[in-house]
Structure 1
Amino acid sequence: WAGTEQGRSALQSLIALEPYLVRLTAAELERVATTTLIVAGDKDATTPVETNIHPILPQLQKDKTTALLLSNVGHQGCSDVGMYIEVAPTVPGVPDFVLEFMGTMGDDTTGAAGDPWRPVTEAHIDLVRTWLANIGDSELLASVAQRHSGRPLL
């Protein structure tokens, strides 16, 4: 849909949280003609900034792209995995292998297992909420990111 004329005319913005972008070609990236917010975490081992975000930044339209890096955020920092890590041990009957697996996800949420997940997830929510109310305002988003120990990449 987004690739159709109707989609392009209706689409106001793209938001990519902890995205997997390295597979996109230069031609695909150049076709992104709408404002875009990219939020990455410096502890993301699944889609690392060095190999997944930095290589594509030069191909993005700088006047339409806001790219931010959050400190101590892993790949699952934008998801509800942190909540599951906290809640799973309190649920009767959860199999041990599930608890063991959830225990391995801590680093991928906050960058360090045991660190509180709520501030990391709230940072993503705050950035998305602010972006949707102020699409394209990179300066405002940079100030919000700074409140959450983040910084602009572009």
Structure 2
Amino acid sequence: MSREPPPRRGDFLYFQTIATRWMDNDIYGHVNNVVYYSYFDTVIARYLMEEGGLDPWRGEVVGFAVESGCRYFRPLAFPDRVVAGLRVARLGNSSVVYEIGIFRNEEEEACAAGRFVHVFVDRRSERPVPLPAGLRRALARLRVGETASSGD
């Protein structure tokens, strides 16, 4: 368990509810550590598609995950309801650093905190490209603090 204080709900700007499943639990009766990464992916993908207009199946620009990490504060278990909070810590020319808080039910302190980095690339060449305007606007709405910048 991490010694840093857990993030709080008020630290995040977008939320997505995710149901835990019986199969998410490990032998210890907790949600397995790898499942948290699916929560990160779910909240980010939902936001990008619904708010940023990203089309992962046909769009010319797609996001490649290049880094991820998780700090655990306390366990989740089925049948908890997960609320994933999302914010953008850094918005570059072609990259985004997301921070995610994973909350149990209505609790104010996160059970886990994640970091996830996307580099947006041209689908065909797989080379970095500038973020499309609509996606950039959507991500800018989630920016927090002065760590957000405009360059890669």
- TM-score, normalization: structure 2? 0.24
- TM-score, normalization: structure 1? 0.24
Determine which structure has the larger helix proportion and give its number: 1
Determine which structure has the larger strand proportion and give its number: 2
Which structure: larger Rg?
Answer: 1
